[in-house]
């Protein structure tokens, strides 16, 4: 079964500093990987996704993520955070379908990002 681990429950970063949020997945084949962001009281917004091709993907709001197959990771990065980036970040994996599978997303438990002035 597929699984997603976000090892950091809560991260605090100073405004203007760089950010890296970790995501590790477990899956038997090449997964499809997503990062979503959820601001307080809001729904989930898609930041970026990886399906195939270039392992460094660019997303909205200046975020990027790198797929590393050897490390089963898909870490999210931003060179300089803004106070508006404070939110909950979810990594998710979608399956390469098998005869017995279906297209359900598996979410990590989330990382809460706090920005300090």
Partner 1 sequence: DTEVTQTPKHLVMGMTNKKSLKCEQHMGHRAMYWYKQKAKKPPELMFVYSYEKLSINESVPSRFSPECPNSSLLNLHLHALQPEDSALYLCASSQEFRTGATRSGNTIYFGEGSWLTVV
What residues line the site for partner 1 (CB under 8 A)? 32, 34, 36, 41-46, 49, 51-52, 90, 94-99, 101-105, 107-110, 112
Q: How far is the CB of 100 from partner 1 (least distance, A)?
A: 9
Q: Which is nearer to partner 1, 52 or 70 (CB)?
A: 52
At 2, list the tokens: 């597929």
Of the chain, the end-to-end C-alpha distance in Å amounts to 41
Q: How far is the CB of 97 from partner 1 (least distance, A)?
A: 5
How many Å apart are CA 7 and CA 26, to the nearest integer?
A: 13
Q: How many CB atoms lie within 10 A of CB 34?
A: 24
Q: Which is nearer to partner 1, 34 or 63 (CB)?
A: 34
């Amino acid at each position: 079964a597929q699984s997603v681990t976000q090892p950091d429950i809560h991260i605090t970063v100073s405004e203007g500093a760089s950010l890296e949020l970790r995501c590790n997945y477990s899956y038997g084949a090449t997964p499809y990987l997503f990062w979503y962001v959820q601001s307080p009281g809001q729904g989930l917004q898609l930041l970026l996704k990886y399906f195939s091709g270039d392992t460094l993907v660019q997303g909205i709001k200046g975020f990027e993520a790198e797929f590393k197959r050897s490390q089963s990771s898909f870490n999210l990065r931003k060179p300089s955070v803004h106070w508006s980036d404070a939110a909950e970040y979810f990594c998710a994996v979608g399956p390469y379908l098998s005869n017995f599978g279906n297209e359900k997303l598996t979410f990590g438990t989330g990382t809460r990002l706090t920005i300090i002035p």
